[in-house]
Amino acid sequence: MKPKYSFFSNAKYALDGILAMLKYEVAFRIELAIIIPAAIISFFLRLSLLEHLFLLFSLFLILIVEALNSSIEACVDLFTSKWHEKAKIAKDCASAAVFFSVIFAILVYISFVFKSFGIFFI
């Protein structure tokens, strides 16, 4: 039987997930160490509220996708400890999603930095 929904229990599960990622995922710690200063620096850019929100979304998207990547890797590792082509594909695809989110955030960040200083691509 499924346990009854509890906001505080579910929030604790989310915090436990964050703590697990901080403890076990080096990539998450590295991304966090880059994203926090980047987010702080972004507040010194001359951008509208909507632009700031979009920029912060692109940075948080990296953390969101990294959390999904970590959960996929944990599930694959739970299922098999042996090398398997399908396990490799699952892990590589999840890693590619993180890569795409990082590229997206870099492009957004650079675009807004240039815009803030009056430099336009077109």
Residue 121 has pLDDT above 90, yes or no: no
CA distance 35 to 42: 10
- pLDDT for position 2: 67
CB 25 within 8 A of CB 66: yes
Alpha-carbon 38 to chain mean position: 14
39-48, 74-83, 100-109 — which is least confidently predicted?
74-83
- pLDDT for position 118: 84
CB 94 within 8 A of CB 69: yes
Q: 12-40: per-residue pLDDT in tens?
A: 999 999 999 999 999 999 999 999 999 99
Residue 122 has pLDDT above 60, yes or no: no
- pLDDT for position 80: 85
Does residue 66 have an active-site annotation?
A: yes
Q: Side-chain half-sphere of 89: how many Cα atoms within 13 Å?
A: 3
- Catalytic hit among 25, 31, 66, 85: 66
pTM above 0.85, yes or no: yes
CATH number of the domain located at residue range(s) 8-116 in this protein: 1.10.287.3610
